[in-house]
Amino acid sequence: MARKRRQSLSARVWELARKQHAVIARRQLLALGASSAWVEHRIRVGRLHPLMRGVYAIGRPEVTRLGWLMAAVLRVGPGAFLSHASAAELWRMRRRADGPIHVSTTARGSRSAPGIRIHRRSGLRSADVVEYLGIPVTTPLVTLVDIARGIPPAELEAAVIEADKLDLITPTRLRAELEELPVLPGSRRLRRLLDRHALALTDSELERRFLRIVRAARLPEPLTQQRVNGFRVDFFWPHLGLVVETDGLRYHRTPAQQAKDRRRDQVHAAAGLASLRFTHAQVRYEAESVEATLRAVTARLRATHHAPAP
C-alpha cells in the first residue's frame, strides 16, 4: 500500500513538472502530499536538483530557458508572473536580454532573489495576466506598456511590429485597448508612438491629403476608386498607366494580405501598369518624400508612354 502511495505521489509530481518545463517548487511538492523528508531524500539521491531556493529541476539538473523562466516565477511565489523584458522574450517580441529575469507579483512581502528582478504590482486586472507556454505572463498589451519606459522609441516600435507580425496584437487593437487599460507607467509613451503612426484619417481625409500632394507635384487629378484589371484601386492615371494604393494598416499587413497585394501588383504589371504603394503614415507625415517619388515615377512613365506634361 505504501509503495502504491509513493508511486502515486511520483506520478503526480512528474505530471506537474512536465507542465512546468521540468521544474517544481517545494511548496508544490508538499501540496501534492510529499513530506520534507521525501524532498530531502530525493535531493540527496539526485532526483531533485536545486535551481533556486525552494525550486528544483526534476530528473536532471539541466533545464531549458523556459525552465529557468518558470523557475523564477515559482521562486517569487503564488500569484507571480513574468513581465517586462522577460515577458517580451517569452512572447518573442524581443530577443533575450542580459540581466535578471523580470517577475511581477501582487503579493506583499516578496523578498528579492538572486537573478530575479521583482516588480510589485497593483491595479492590474485579472485579464492582464495569462498563461503562455505553461508560464504565467502579462498579456502582449501589458508587456508592451511595461517595456515602453525602458527602451528607445525605435526598439519599442520594433517590438510593436514584431507583435503584429506574430499575430499577438495588431496596432489597431493595441491602440484601442490602451484606452481600457488602467494607467501604467509606460502607457503615455506607447500611446505617443502609436499615434505617430495612427490611422487617424478617414478615407475621405486621406484622399484629400494625397490629392494635395498630387497637386504639389504638378500632376493631373487621378481617377479615384476605379476598378482596374478586376481590382478596386485608390488612384489611377490611365494616360500614364499608373496605379497608386494607400495602405491603411500602420505597420505590417498579414501574410495573406501581403500575398493579395503581390497578386494585385503582378496583375497590374502584366497589363503594363506601374503600381506604387504608400503607407498611411507616409501620406500624413512624409508628404515631401511621397511627392518626390511621384515626380520621379511619372517623369519616367511620360517618357515611356510619350505622355505630355501638364
Query: Can you give the three-state secondary structure of 129-163, one letter per residue?
Result: EEEECCEEEECHHHHHHHHHCCCCHHHHHHHHHHH
Tell me whether residue 188 is exposed, middle or buried, using C-beta atoms within 10 angstroms of its C-beta: 0 to 12, 13 to 18, 19 or more.
middle
Q: Are 129 and 120 in contact (CB under 8 A)?
A: no
Give the cell for residue 37: 523528508
Identify which of 28, 137, 6 has the alpha carbon closest to the alpha carbon of residue 77.
28
**pLDDT of residue 197 exceeding 80:** no
Average pLDDT of the segment spanning 240-269: 77
Mean pLDDT (whole number) for 195-214: 71
CA nearest neighbour of 138 among 128, 149, 150, 147: 128
Q: Phi/psi class of residue 35: alpha, beta or left (left: φ > 0; alpha: ψ in -120 to 50)?
A: beta
Domain boundaries, the chain: 11-63, 64-197, 203-305
Which of 310 and 296 is assigned the larger pLDDT?
A: 296
pTM: 0.65
Q: What local confidence, expressed as pLDDT, does residue 110 receive? A: 64
CA dist., res. 106 & res. 115, Å (int): 19
Instruction: Assess whether pLDDT exceeds 80 at residue 42.
Output: yes
Number of helical (H) and strand (E) elements in the chain, helices listed first = 13, 12
Residues 98-117, mean pLDDT to the nearest whole number: 86
Of residues 242, 285, 287, 288, the one with CA closest to residue 265: 242
**Which residue type is seen at 244?**
V
Residue 117: band (very low, low, confident or very high) from pLDDT cuts 50, 70, 90:
very high
Whole-angstrom distance, CA of residue 64 vs CA of residue 78: 22
> Tell me, what's the pLDDT at 255?
67
Q: How confident is the model at residue 84 (pLDDT cuts 50, 70, 90)?
A: very high
Q: Name the architecture of domain 203-305.
A: 3-Layer(aba) Sandwich (3.40)
- The rounded distance, in Å, linking the Cα atoms of 213 and 220 is 11
Cell 481617377 sits on residue: 223
46-55, 153-162, 217-226: which range is least confident on average? 153-162
pLDDT for the residue numbered 6? 60
- The answer for residues whose C-beta is within 8 angstroms of residue 30's C-beta and 6 or more apart is 36, 39
